[in-house]
A = this chain, B = another copy of it.
Amino acid sequence: MSNISVNILGIGEHSFPSGISPLEIQQSMKGIPSNAIICTIDDHLADLSTPLEQSCTLKYLDGKSKDGHSVLLHSTAHLMAQAVKRLFPKTKVTIGPYLDNRFYYDFDVETPFTEEDLLSIENEMAAIASENLMISHQVISRKEAVNLFQSMDEPYKVEIIEAIDESETLKIYTQGDFTDLCRGPHIANTNQIQHFKLLSSSAAYWRGDENNQTLQRVYGTSFADKKDLKAYLNMLEEQKKRDHRKIGKEMDLFFYDDEVGPGLPLWTPKGSVIIEELESLAKEKESLAGYDRVRTPHLTKGDLYEKSGHLDHYVSSMYPAMDVDGMNYYIKPMNCPHHHKIFASTPKSYRDLPLRLAEYGTCYRYEKSGELFGLMRVRSMQMNDGHIYCTEEQFKDEFLAVCNMYLEYFKIFGIEKYQMRLSLHDPKELGNKFIDNAELWIKTENDVRNALQDAKLNFVESVGDAAFYGPKIDVQVWSAIGREFTLATNQVDFAVPERFALHYTDMNGEAKTPLCIHRAPLGTHERFIGFLIEHFGGNFPLWLAPQQVAVLPVSDKYNDYAESIIKELKDNKIRVKSDLRSEKIGSKIRDAELEKINIMLIIGEKEAEDQSVTVRRRFIKEQQTISVKTFIKDVKDEIKERRVTHQ
């Protein structure tokens, strides 16, 4: 038997007999962490049981690493399927992938799982884990695979195998009495699955098609250590409490109506306060940044969308055409073509550039009703839209200014974790997937990259994911409790200005095509407010709060004084709720807390005598008695500075 040389990362180069597995190395050598559950061989993720046939670089991964955690989740899905088959032998298995921090498995069962069923499955999983079952895999032929799963009476697996391309290698994974078709890799032993929890069970359709068999989808999670599992379960609990649909209803911010239609939110007075505040913010910042505001119609001839390319590339996301006077009209899915029209409506010179057009324009996009979700996936969306038309020379500054606007907003909303993903072209796809101007791509991408670096923005790069007309930046943010949201996309566009024949006259009197930056830092009202609700858990900072102050007299005797304060607050444009009911002060406070009103003014004898107010703030234990004048000044400052005092 020949020897091979294995470079174990963090350990060093060692010689082993050919055919040895990483698992055998782990068990035989000192210094390799016992919690390694998977490895990469020459940068490819692989089972620990893979025989090493030639010299290679080997890296062990534990369940806390990104890939290690994914494999752990995936193996826990198998463990769950094994438990289900033991407890409910008539169950047919289908697929069981992993997601971010979660996994699921879809089962064809006779009766949907109950809460108790999930508990039993969890217990059975723990039992199997402690059986220390080795997890092994083998490559088999298509025919063998079909025969195997037919003999096991697993028709979904047979269907899956038949749909797999003939050129592909098929693998099965086995642990004790359970065998599944799987690409792997997996951990080596069921006893490595220690900290897991089943989360929920719900209906799903085979292959996601509602005409197919209804399946039961069971979600679960799994971590390498107890602390991480607990933190994740806490976050889920917090998420549930902060669900924007739940809080939106409780706080009466928005609602859907059957006769209006799904995905078309109606914003109540309270929700509209948030919208108006966001628009004021955007107008203020955009005005300082030299934007001009415009207004464009929501309805437009098909001609425009033919020119813009939407009818070629985007029609499935658009609402159907209306025939008006024998012509097709559409409700707009984007504001860009209209802004291009405004650019083109008068001749432009280099003196007019950069031209920055902004509009909080409402767009309509068709989403399947099954894909609609609260404010996150909607059909009507009012977008913080803007288009910057500039020369190549101006591009970098303009782009940087947009990035800085993002940063400024993140600060205002207390968004501490964010990441930008810069999507670049793939040189191999020039002229095919990407417009054929290598030089401009490279220059613009460099400009964007430099701008991001100059702005010290946290970003990653992704080759081949650009739009066909230019590089783009997707912005991810994490809410206060760590939930991830895709907020907005920034795009650089060098194709569309040409399509719309947009021109400016340069200093030498020559016609040039401007670059265009598409930007929407505050995204859409729908998604952004959805995010803010969850980020703040409904406890909005004062400037955004639909109701800022509640005035609560301790008895009817002080209602007159309370009313004078209410008037003064209203005169100062503070949004105030008065509670002059003949209720006990405790119950008034409780109601104000339930409405998430941050500041409560308690009004009693002392306050009426001193012309003062006792200020009670949620999240602050001490009450403070101060003069009305001081209170109003403090509150106005807090609002004006858009301070975030809690999350």
A391 to chain B, nearest CB (A): 19
Asked if A265 CB lies within 8 Å of chain B CBs, one says yes
Pick the residue among B303, B321, B323, B369 that contacts A258 (CB under 8 A). B303
| Residue pair B297, A264 in contact (C-beta under 8 Å) | yes
| Residue pair B320, A260 in contact (C-beta under 8 Å) | no
Pick the residue among B252, B322, B325 that contacts A346 (CB under 8 A). B252
**Would A379 and B299 be within 8 Å (CB), given that A294-B266, A320-B323 are in contact?**
yes
A280 to chain B, nearest CB (A): 10
Pick the residue among B299, B300, B380 that contacts A297 (CB under 8 A). B380
Pick the residue among B324, B341, B380 that contacts A260 (CB under 8 A). B341
| Residue pair A255, B299 in contact (C-beta under 8 Å) | no
| Residue pair B341, A257 in contact (C-beta under 8 Å) | yes
Mask, A279-318, CB within 8 Å of B = 1, is 0000100010000111111111101100100000000000
Interface on A for B, CB 8 Å cutoff? 252, 255, 257-261, 264-269, 271-273, 275-276, 283, 287, 292-301, 303-304, 307, 319-325, 327, 329, 331, 338, 341-342, 345-346, 357, 362, 364, 366, 369, 379-380, 382, 525, 573
| Residue pair A275, B295 in contact (C-beta under 8 Å) | yes
Q: Which residue of B lies closest to A325 (CB)?
A: B369
- Determine the distance from Cα of A294 to Cα of B257 in the docked complex, in whole angstroms: 15
| Residue pair A298, B362 in contact (C-beta under 8 Å) | yes
| Residue pair B295, A357 in contact (C-beta under 8 Å) | no
| Residue pair A272, B301 in contact (C-beta under 8 Å) | no
A223 to chain B, nearest CB (A): 41
Q: Which residues of B contact A573 (CB under 8 A)?
A: 287
Q: Which residue of B lies closest to A364 (CB)?
A: B299
Q: Which residues of B contact A329 (CB under 8 A)?
A: 261, 319
Q: Which residues of B contact A255 (CB under 8 A)?
A: 345
| Residue pair A324, B331 in contact (C-beta under 8 Å) | no
Pick the residue among B259, B267, B338, B364 that contacts A307 (CB under 8 A). B259
Q: Which residues of B contact A273 (CB under 8 A)?
A: 293
**Would A299 and B331 be within 8 Å (CB), given that A260-B338, A276-B293, A294-B268 are in contact?**
yes
- Determine the distance from Cα of A303 to Cα of B331 in the docked complex, in whole angstroms: 19
| Residue pair A342, B268 in contact (C-beta under 8 Å) | yes
- Determine the distance from Cα of A327 to Cα of B303 in the docked complex, in whole angstroms: 26
- Determine the distance from Cα of A380 to Cα of B261 in the docked complex, in whole angstroms: 22
| Residue pair B295, A261 in contact (C-beta under 8 Å) | no
| Residue pair B294, A259 in contact (C-beta under 8 Å) | no
Pick the residue among B304, B320, B324, B362 that contacts A324 (CB under 8 A). B320
| Residue pair B266, A338 in contact (C-beta under 8 Å) | yes
Q: Which residues of B contact A298 (CB under 8 A)?
A: 298, 331, 362, 364, 380
| Residue pair A297, B346 in contact (C-beta under 8 Å) | no
| Residue pair B297, A265 in contact (C-beta under 8 Å) | yes
Shortest beta-carbon contacts, A-B, top 8: A269-B292, A267-B295, A264-B297, A259-B303, A261-B301, A259-B304, A297-B380, A272-B293
Pick the residue among B259, B275, B342 that contacts A266 (CB under 8 A). B342
| Residue pair B346, A300 in contact (C-beta under 8 Å) | no
Assuming A266-B296, A271-B295, A322-B331, what are 10 further A-B pairs, CB within 8 angstroms? A259-B301, A259-B307, A261-B299, A267-B294, A267-B295, A269-B342, A297-B362, A299-B331, A320-B323, A322-B322
From A287, A298, A357, residue with most partner B Cβ within 10 Å = A298
Q: Which residues of B contact A267 (CB under 8 A)?
A: 294-296
| Residue pair A294, B265 in contact (C-beta under 8 Å) | no
Q: Which residues of B contact A276 (CB under 8 A)?
A: 283, 293
From A257, A273, A301, A362, residue with most partner B Cβ within 10 Å = A257
